[in-house]
Amino acid sequence: MTQTIEHIVLIKVKDDSSPSKINFMLDTINSLISLDIILHLSPGPIHKIKSISSSFDFTHMVHIRFKSKEDLENYIEHQEHTRVLNATKELFDDIMIVDWVADLDEPLVVPSGAVMRLNLLKLKEELEESEKTEAHFGSIKQFSFGENFALAKTNGFTIASLAIVPELSELEALDLNEEVVKEQEKLEDFLESVIVVDYVVPPAVKTA
């Protein structure tokens, strides 16, 4: 297994954003793949999002993998990241950031066409530590998961998990899996809010 930093940014673009501006945003973000510290980069539209709150209506997702927290910090401070942020932030209506440490034994570069399911959990504040531990490891032990260590724009979501399957049909089968449903039901008493994001990885951008 390889310890990896998962970095995800959920973006809601403004309603009046034109398709050309959105494509410009995605192309500009994709240009960051030229940075050596980035192991994997995938920005694109969200396929489906489910949440109790209608305020979490994000439209796009950016998924990046790094070798270490230090590489993530260097990325955030890098002039290219600053340039991209300044060039695209006028399109943002809202963003949310999730960072966690994962132990991965699958390829770090996710192939185009693969489907990601991101689960974000917001635990009830009154939980005892023992209950928090149970909530952490109840249903997400089979996925890449961890505690969100992002310092801002978290909306109080402290646990993240990421499942990757080859295609949408397998994700639909996961929804119907009795064991998965049973484990999810066990978590309900611990949770204040949940966001579930399904994302289809777009074709990788070729670099010169």
Judge whether 166 lies within some domain.
yes
More confident residue, 106 or 132: 106
Question: Does the residue 207 lie in any domain?
Answer: no
Provide the pLDDT for residue 20. Answer: 97
- Structural domain contains residue 206: no
Both structure tokens of 1:
């297994």
Q: What is the CATH number of the domain that holds 58?
A: 3.30.70.100
Task: Please write the tens of the pLDDT for every residue from 73-95.
Answer: 999 999 999 999 999 999 999 99
Domain annotation covers residue 95 = yes
Predicted local distance difference test score (pLDDT) of residue 181? 62
Show the domain range for 142: 2-200
Q: Could you give the number of structural domains in the chain?
A: 1
> Can you tell me the distance from the alpha carbon of 75 to that of 50, in angstroms, rounded to the nearest whole number?
30
Write the pLDDT tens digit of every residue in 118-136: 999 887 775 544 444 444 4
In a domain, 208, yes or no: no
pTM listed for this prediction: 0.85
